[in-house]
């Protein structure tokens, strides 16, 4: 691209940002269009990303970036009368919330075209979890998504090639240039994709804590504020719920084991913290969609759909619509079933024992997730394959009194000796102490 009176060259745009000037919406458009059309060199993209990382962006610049990214590909449109909703989580350990939430919302009359991702670093991906179910197909065309929304009300799918192509390019270069952790770049990436889904309302589960992207509440709040501002300005009613991410969510971490726990939640028998997250996040979405709901009544409505089997029915229909045989879907969703009749079970299950008497004060979700990742539950190199059967069942609860010698975790692993090098890290993940030091905390801290 050459300079003329009002069009700056890419090096000039990079220099502007590098030197701390604000980019205009038109200049941001030039940059994003250059990214999408591949008329800007990767080195120039990297330099611009680093300039943004260093100089930050104003709300106005962030909005322009998000809008231009959103418009870099197809954007979805739905019938006016639909309540089209979605949830995004910034990534956790044992985070299977989407699995019960999407069908519970569908049971309340919402349409949920949930576009989910794969595991990132130590965090698991919703698509990887669902692929533990034989036949489940996460690749659905936009026409198929529309049909599933008509017939069932919810689907959980991967991103299509045509949605926000600029993000794919930018994300890969962010990863290669240490610019992932920039507030405007994270905001542009997340909100552009949600904006392109044509949503009426979006709830963001912004996590903070040891096993989260942001370790403390203050920095998570800044991210939440940036996401909420950009979402609302793009015309999507957006709210962020700030939630604690230290110990794993629920009692399982891994792919197949998390599907089992999500199914238990859909049968009204899930662990309290998982059910709390599902109902509260759903409650906020219902509150944003309809004047008939408040957060409180919406939360109760979602809880009802988990208890009365309507969410489970939707999940069963979604499984069938996304390629699972009717027989497997029915069996997984029946109240008395052996889940591992249908999903593969790891060759070995090893239980680790508690080393002291006392109360469970903490379970380090990050340490546990990192070990499971190394055992094959996640990808280290892109050419690796995930082993869906690798995972952990945590057999104790926070605050519970335990005795030395009692089993506290069951690890599902592939070979006789792959676990031994990780045993001491796993044992350190369980913190036992005096019950007086235990403080029960809700997962949900606040919302914006």
Q: Which of 90/389 has CB closer to ligand IUR?
A: 90
Rounded Cα distance, 46 and 404, in Å: 53
DSSP at 159: P
Q: Given phi > 0 = left and psi -120 to 50 = alpha, else beta, which region is 382?
A: alpha
- The active-site residue, picked from 128, 167, 205, 273, is 167
Q: Which of 69/104 has CB closer to ligand IUR?
A: 69
Rounded Cα distance, 260 and 269, in Å: 11
Asked if residue 226 binds ligand IUR (CB under 6 A), the reply is no
189 counts as catalytic = yes
Q: What are phi and psi of 240, to 5 degrees?
A: -120, 135
132 counts as catalytic = no
Asked if residue 186 binds ligand IUR (CB under 6 A), the reply is yes
Q: Which residue of 189, 252, 275, 299 would you call a contact of ligand IUR, by CB under 6 A?
A: 189
364 counts as catalytic = no
- The active-site residue, picked from 189, 192, 200, 226, is 189
CB-CB contact of 118 with 125 (8 Å): yes
Report how far apart the first and last C-alpha atoms of the chain are (Å, whole number): 42
Residue nearest to ligand IUR (CB): 189
Min dist. Cβ of residue 95 to ligand IUR (A):
13
- The active-site residue, picked from 8, 67, 88, 244, is 88
Q: Which of 212/260 has CB closer to ligand IUR?
A: 212
Q: Which residue of 32, 130, 145, 190 would you call a contact of ligand IUR, by CB under 6 A?
A: 190
CA distance to 109, 133, 281, 315, per residue, from 105 (Å): 7, 21, 10, 11
Asked if residue 159 binds ligand IUR (CB under 6 A), the reply is no
Enter the tokens of residue 193.
Answer: 């994709």
Q: Which residue of 180, 217, 379, 395 would you call a contact of ligand IUR, by CB under 6 A?
A: 180
Q: Which of 86/387 has CB closer to ligand IUR?
A: 86
Largest CA distance in the chain: 77
The window from 185-193, 244-252, 306-314, 319-327 that contacts ligand IUR (CB under 6 A) reads 185-193
# residues near ligand IUR by CB under 6 A: 4
273 counts as catalytic = no
How many distinct helices (H) and strands (E) make up the chain?
17, 13
| 51 closest CA partner among 74, 75, 28, 69 | 28
Active-site annotation, residues: 88, 167, 174, 189, 193
* Interacting residue ranges for ligand IUR, rule: CB under 6 A: 180, 186, 189-190
């Amino acid at each position: 691209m050459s300079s003329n009176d009002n069009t700056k060259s890419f090096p000039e745009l990079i220099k502007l940002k590098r030197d701390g000037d604000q980019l205009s919406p038109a200049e941001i458009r030039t940059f994003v269009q250059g990214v999408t059309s591949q008329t800007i060199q990767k080195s120039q993209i990297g330099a611009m990303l680093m300039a943004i990382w260093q100089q930050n962006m104003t709300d106005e610049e962030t909005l322009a970036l998000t809008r231009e990214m959103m418009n870099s590909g197809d954007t979805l449109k739905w019938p006016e009368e639909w309540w089209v909703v979605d949830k995004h989580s910034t990534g956790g350990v044992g985070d299977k919330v989407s699995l019960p939430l999407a069908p519970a919302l569908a049971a309340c009359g919402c349409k949920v075209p949930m576009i989910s991702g794969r595991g990132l670093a130590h965090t698991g991906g919703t698509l990887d979890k669902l692929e533990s179910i034989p036949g489940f197909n996460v690749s659905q065309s936009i026409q198929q998504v529309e049909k599933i929304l008509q017939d069932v009300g919810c689907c959980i799918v991967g991103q299509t090639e045509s949605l926000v192509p600029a993000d794919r390019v930018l994300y890969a270069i962010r990863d290669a240039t240490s610019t992932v952790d920039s507030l405007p770049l994270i905001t542009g990436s997340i909100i552009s994709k949600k904006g392109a889904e044509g949503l009426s309302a979006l709830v963001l589960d912004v996590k903070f804590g040891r096993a989260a992207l942001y370790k403390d509440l203050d920095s998570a709040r800044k991210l939440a504020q940036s996401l909420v501002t950009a979402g609302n300005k793009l015309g999507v009613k957006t709210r962020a719920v700030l939630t604690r991410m230290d110990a794993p969510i629920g009692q399982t971490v891994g792919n197949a084991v998390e599907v089992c726990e999500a199914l238990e939640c859909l049968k009204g028998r899930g662990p309290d913290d998982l059910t709390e997250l599902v109902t509260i996040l759903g409650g906020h979405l219902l509150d944003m969609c309809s004047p008939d709901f408040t957060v409180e009544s919406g939360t109760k409505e979602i809880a009802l759909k988990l208890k009365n089997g309507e969410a489970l029915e939707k999940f069963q229909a979604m499984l069938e619509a996304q390629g699972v045989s009717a027989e497997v879907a029915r069996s997984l969703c029946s109240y008395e079933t052996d889940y591992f009749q249908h999903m593969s079970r790891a060759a070995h299950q090893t239980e680790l024992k508690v080393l002291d008497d006392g109360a469970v004060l903490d379970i380090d979700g990050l340490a546990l997730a990192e070990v499971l990742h190394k055992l094959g539950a996640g990808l280290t190199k892109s050419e690796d394959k995930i082993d869906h059967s690798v995972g952990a069942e945590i057999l104790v609860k926070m605050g519970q009194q335990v005795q030395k010698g009692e089993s506290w975790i069951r690890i599902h692993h592939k070979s006789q000796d792959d676990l031994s090098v990780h045993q001491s890290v796993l044992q350190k993940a369980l913190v036992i102490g005096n019950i007086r030091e235990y403080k029960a905390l809700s997962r949900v801290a606040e919302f914006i």
